[in-house]
Each structure stands twice: as structure tokens, then as C-alpha cells.
Amino acid sequence: MNRTSTRTDIGLQHWADILIVVLYFVLVLGVGFWSLCRPNRGSVRSYFLAGRSMHWWPVGASLFSSNIGSEHFVGLAGTGAASGIAIVLYEWMSMPLVLLLGWLFLPVYISAGVYTLPEYLKKRFGGDRLRTYLSVLSIILYIITKLAVSIFAGALFIQLALGWDMYVAIAALLLVTAVYTLLGGLAAVMYTDTLQTVIMTLGACALVGIGMAEVGGYNRLQRLYARAVPLIRNANSTCGLPPADAFSLLRDPVKSDQPWPGILLQASLGCVWYWCCDQVIVQRTLAAKNLSHAKGGAILAGYLKIVPLFIMIWPGMISRALYPDEVGCVDPDECNKFCGNPVGCSNIAYPKIVLSLMPTGLRGLLMSVMLSAIMSSLTSILNSASTLFTMDLWRKMRAHATERELLIVGRVFIAAVSGLSILWIPLVKSSQSGQLFVYIQAVQGYLGTPIGAIFLWAILWRRMNEQGAFWGIVAGHTCGIIRMVLDFVYTAPDCGDPDTRPPVVAMVHYTYFCQMTLVITSVVIVGVSLLTKKPARAQIVGMTWWDRYRPEDIEVTQAEEVSLKPIDDSSMSREEDTSRGGTCRKWADFICGIPRKSEEHSLEEQAAQKRAFLKEPKFWAHILNINAVMGLVVVAFLIGFFR
């Protein structure tokens, strides 16, 4: 067992590795620009929903790739190195959640005829405060948590691999991703996500194969991991010792750092908001050509979410087994020396094994894997944030905005968010999170769990009204923010030091607290809704599971597909004058796919599109249902096997 790395050629110094990374960038940009050649891309529907023409395989690949970012490779491997495999329950419980999206939530979203999730709240409850609240909150969360965490994890890997300045590396990545996201919209994002899913999976499988060969197989990994103790530690304490239950999923419900009831509840009920109510995820299924393809994509994504145990967590545990002094350090001075973080160096587990074990050529491939993870997350977040801002906030400020204006605003917002993300790098760089993935789940749990409760009640309970929804989410977020602030103020003590934090922080695991916020949110929703006015029947038609439109029910007068508000003659003439501008403007419009005239759909066309999406052939409906049940059985078997 290697206690430290003995290689002197760590990094991408060989021409073959550099060539592979360059070819990767060329290939991704090639796929991105190829998607620009598709017809009819110059419309709001095409830019933000890929024209609703995607087959099941890019939908599933994009769902997986959008979810799996560099923070997963760094964070999951780091948590695996620090505490074992229990964190994989967050990945495996995604299977029932994506099925819930395809079978329960998506038909209602299509029936409501929405581009964005805040728009659904507007249609379901009326008024603007919920829509505005959720739009602003989602954009802030994208910038502060998703973009920031992806950038932090990516920058960590790039620094270790290349020795580049962090700002230069991230600026280059943002530039490449922003170009094809800005020009091509969701279709370009989903096609490149599909390519990146293939690259990520193949490269990561190669790494785990080489890693397992290095440690001598799974059984020997268990023995080596149990002995992976750093040399410098307090011998009179348990600090630095790997947990005895590292290879078990279902751990002690009270004393464990990953209590099984809390993890199971938070990974299922607590993550409903992410898989069923978050714009980044739902937007991919809304882009499917029909409901069958959306369900097929959900099933594919659920199966792909099984693999993180093997391609992310196991490599992290292998890394600790091979390099216990660096990856498993507990002494603050030693940790500062190895990774610049006195809390711990578990987050370097994945980059460490890549740069130490992979041979020339494959090291460049794994660098491409990390770049794929970073770029797929960034593109997904940028496109979804742009959709939220344009369709929910800008149209509220500019009620008569033309289609040309909305397309331009969406692209400008992507450029602005890309620049803002770079400004967040110093804040993320100073983060002292010892286990990145646990930090992600805790923060998103505090703020996201109440959102899931709102949507679940909205879809299943007709009696719920706007007052109940608003005060429910306010109550849930108030509790979550208080706990989040306490977590930041009262940080966990160093190993061996007494825990002087308030009992609500020290004794209540974050997974249990998130379930408490779920209950509080639900109680407020039910109580306030029952005490206030019942929503009118006309207000919920097509907006709940019980009132959703079925293909045979849809009439022309019921078509509520989102379309731009009618444009008066004066605005139309201004648009036509603009389209007859100079040569530079015409070329810019051509490259960006901005139309010379706005795309408008008649009620008949809108009704036909909705009817076509919701219609499922009986044969394929049975096949999809059987595959969904098989997916649930596979996940149940795996949980039982690794319990």
C-alpha cells in the first residue's frame, strides 16, 4: 500500500494527454455547433424546450449528465473516502423519483402548458408573488450553490492536474460552455450532454478497473480501507480511523454520521423538489417529443444513477486505501500541507487517484471526464436560469415583449450569469467544507425540501390555495434558513474536541431536520388552505392530477399551451424594421437563430401538440410500466445486498 504518491510526473505533461483534452474540446464544440443546423431553431419553443422533439435517449442522458457534475466526482469520492458507501442512497433513490416525475408530475405540467415551474404555480394558484418568489429563489440557488459548487470542484481538479491559475481555467470553461449554450439553446445542451455522458461513463469505468487492480479486488479493498489510518493523529482518540460500517448502507439511526432513516427519507421525500420540481431537471423531460419518450428517458436516467457507487465512491475509497496520509489526514497542519484545508483532504480523493494511477493517454481521458462533468452542469444551469429569468421575470416586466426580444434577453442573461459565476470563485475557494457532497445535500435540503412539499400538495390536493402555498413555503424556508445559519455559525468541532454547539445543531442530524421542515410546511399548507377561501373550479382545471387533460379531453378552447402575448401592429412594425437592419445585424440574427418574425401558434395547433404529447400507445405504455417496476426491483435488491 502506497502511503504517499511517488510519481514525479503528476499532471498533464505528456503530449498524448494534452492532445486528448484538445480533441475533447473540439468534439464537444463540434456537436454543439452541429445542433445549430437543425431547422426551426429560431423560436422560444425551440430555444428553451428544444422544439419538444427529443427522443428518449438524449432525454435520459441529459437528465443524468445535468445531475452528475464535477461536484459528484469530487464530493461523492470524498465522502466515500471519509465515511464509506452510505451516501450512495441519494443516488439510488433517484430511481423512484424520476419515475414519479414521468408518471405523476410531467402529465400535469404538460396539461398546464408551461415552460417553467414558477409558471405552473402562477397558473395553479393565480397571482404573481409565488411565481416571482420561486423564480428569484431558483436563480439565486443556481448561482450560489450549483454554479459555485461545480466551479469549486472543477477548479480543485484543474489546479491539481494542470497547475493553472483558477481564474484562467474556469474562465476558459465558462467561455466554451457559454458559447454553444448561448447560441444553440436547450437542444445544443442536450446533444452535448449525451456525448459527455458517454465520455464520463467510459472514462470513469476505466479508472475503477485500474484502481481495483491496484488494490487487488473488492475484498482486499475492504481490508485495506479498514487499515487506512494516517500516521500523524491523536492515538488516544478515534480520529482518523475509518468507520467500521463503511461498507454498509443502513447505519445506526442515532449515532451514525449517515443515519439510515434520515438518509432514506431525505433521499426520497426530501429530494422530490430536485427531481420533480427543479427547472434544470424538468426542462429536459418537457423537451421530449411525447410522454412515452419522456418516461423512457426517466427510466434510462434512473438506471444510470445506479453507477455512481462503482465509478465515484469506490475510487474515493481506493484513493484513501492507497494514500491514507494525504486523503485521510486529520491533523490540521498536515491537511493544510496536502490540500490547503485544515478540516480534511477527502475532497482530493478522486483527483489524487486519477493523477497518480492513470497511465499516459488515459489520464487525459479522465481529465476530459472531469471537464465533461463541469461543462454539462454549467450548460444545464445556464440554460435553465436563462429560461426562468426570461419567461418568468422579463415577461412580467415586459408584457408585450416580442419573440426576438425574449431570445436576445435569454442569451444576454447567460453571458451575465457566466461573468457573475467567476466573481463567486473567491467565496467558494475559501469554503472549509470537509465533505463537499454532504455540504451540498444539507444546504439544498434546507431550502429545497419545502419546495417539493408545495408542488406535491398542489398536484394532489384540489383544496390547496395560494395563501396556503405562500405561507407554507415561507414557514419552511424560515426554519431551513435558521438552521443553515446556525450550521455556518456553529461549525463542527475538530475531531476529539468537545461539541459545544446548540442541541438543535449538535443532536439533530440535518436529514432529520429537513423532514421536520417538510412536516411544518405541510401543516401550514393544510391549515391555512382550510381556513381561507376554496379555489374556484375553473382555476384548477388541467392543473392537478385529478383534473389533468387527457388526449381525448383536449378541445381547441381548452388549449393552454404557453404562447407569446399578442403583439400589436406598432410592435410588429418595429420588429420588421429591426429585421431589415444592416449586414452585421442580419448575420448576428442568422448565427443566433433569431427569427425575422415571431412564431405564433393557433389554438388548433396548440391543442394538437398537447394531444400528441399526452397520447401513449398501449403497447409502449405497458413496456414502460414493466421497465419502471424492474428498475424499482433492481434498486431494492441493491439496497438489500449492501445493507
Please give the grid coordinates belonging to residue 91.
Answer: 443516488
pLDDT at site 346: 84
- Position 172, amino acid: A
Partnered with residue 54 across adjacent β-strands are 288
Q: Mean pLDDT across the chain, nearest whole number?
A: 79
Total residue count of the chain as it appears in this document: 643
Percent of residues, the chain, with pLDDT higher than 90: 31
E-strand stretches of 389-476 = none
Q: Give the three-state DSSP class for 329.
A: coil
pLDDT at site 577: 45
- What are 480-530's pLDDT values in tens digits? 999 988 887 887 776 667 888 888 888 899 999 999 999 999 999 999 999
Instruction: Give the Cα-Cα-Cα angle 281, 287, 289 (nearest 5 degrees).
Output: 135
The DSSP secondary structure of 431-500, one letter per residue, reads: ---SSHHHHHHHHHHHHHHHHHHHHHHHHH-TT--HHHHHHHHHHHHHHHHHHHHHHHHSPPPPTTS---
Q: Give the three-state DSSP class for 174.
A: helix
Max distance between CA atoms of the chain, in angstroms, equals: 81
Residue 251 sits at φ, ψ, to 5 deg, of -105, 175
Q: Which residues contact 220 (CB under 8 A, 6 or more apart)?
A: none
- What are 32-67's pLDDT values in tens digits? 666 556 544 444 454 444 446 678 888 888 888 778
Partnered with residue 259 across adjacent β-strands are 251
* Distance (Å) of CA 243 to CA 170, 263, 624, 640: 35, 17, 40, 20
Query: H or E element: which one contains 638?
Result: helix 618-641
Highest average pLDDT, of 53-67, 150-164, 172-186, 595-609, comes from 53-67
Does pLDDT of 272 surpass 50? Answer: yes
Q: Which residues contact 54 (CB under 8 A, 6 or more apart)?
A: 62, 187, 190, 284, 287, 288, 289, 293, 297
pLDDT at site 180: 56
Query: Are the CB atoms for 364 and 455 separated by under 8 Å?
Result: no
Tell me which fold the domain 69-429+605-643 belongs to.
Answer: Sodium/glucose cotransporter (1.20.1730)
Among candidate residues 178, 202, 200, 197, the one with its CA nearest the CA of residue 32: 178
Q: Which whole number is the average pLDDT over 607-614?
A: 73
- What are 278-313's pLDDT values in tens digits? 887 888 888 888 899 999 999 999 999 999 999 999
- Position 196, amino acid: Q
Does pLDDT of 629 surpass 90? Answer: yes
Kindly state the DSSP code that residue 424 receives in the 8-state scheme.
T
Neighbouring CB atoms inside 10 A of 235's CB total 7
Residue 401 sits at φ, ψ, to 5 deg, of -65, 135
Q: pLDDT category, 398, cuts 50, 70, 90? A: confident
Lowest mean pLDDT among 533-537, 541-545, 560-564: 560-564
pLDDT: which is higher, 107 or 255? 107
Q: Domain ranges in the chain?
A: 69-429+605-643, 444-548
Among candidate residues 340, 370, 335, the one with its CA nearest the CA of residue 74: 370
In angstroms, the CA 232 to CA 335 distance is: 10
Q: Which residues contact 14 (CB under 8 A, 6 or more apart)?
A: 360, 361, 363, 364
pLDDT: which is higher, 87 or 36? 87
In angstroms, the CA 94 to CA 99 distance is: 8
Query: Are the CB atoms for 251 and 245 separated by under 8 Å?
Result: yes
pTM for the whole thing? 0.81
Q: Which residues contact 230 (CB under 8 A, 6 or more apart)?
A: 240, 324, 325, 328, 329, 330, 331, 334
Highest average pLDDT, of 225-234, 355-364, 421-430, comes from 225-234
Q: Which whole number is the average pLDDT over 227-245?
A: 84
In angstroms, the CA 389 to CA 393 distance is: 5
Partnered with residue 382 across adjacent β-strands are none
Among candidate residues 111, 101, 108, the one with its CA nearest the CA of residue 275: 101
pLDDT: which is higher, 453 or 434? 453
Q: Which whole number is the average pLDDT over 310-322?
A: 94
- Position 530, amino acid: L
- Position 242, amino acid: P
Distance in Å from the first CA to the final CA of the chain: 28
Residue recorded with cell 429537513: 514
Kindly state the DSSP code that residue 544 receives in the 8-state scheme.
S
Q: pLDDT category, 4, cuts 50, 70, 90? A: low
CA atoms lying within 13 Å on the CB side of residue 246: 25
Query: H or E element: which one contains 285?
Result: helix 279-286
Query: Are the CB atoms for 326 and 4 separated by under 8 Å?
Result: yes
Residue recorded with cell 376554496: 534
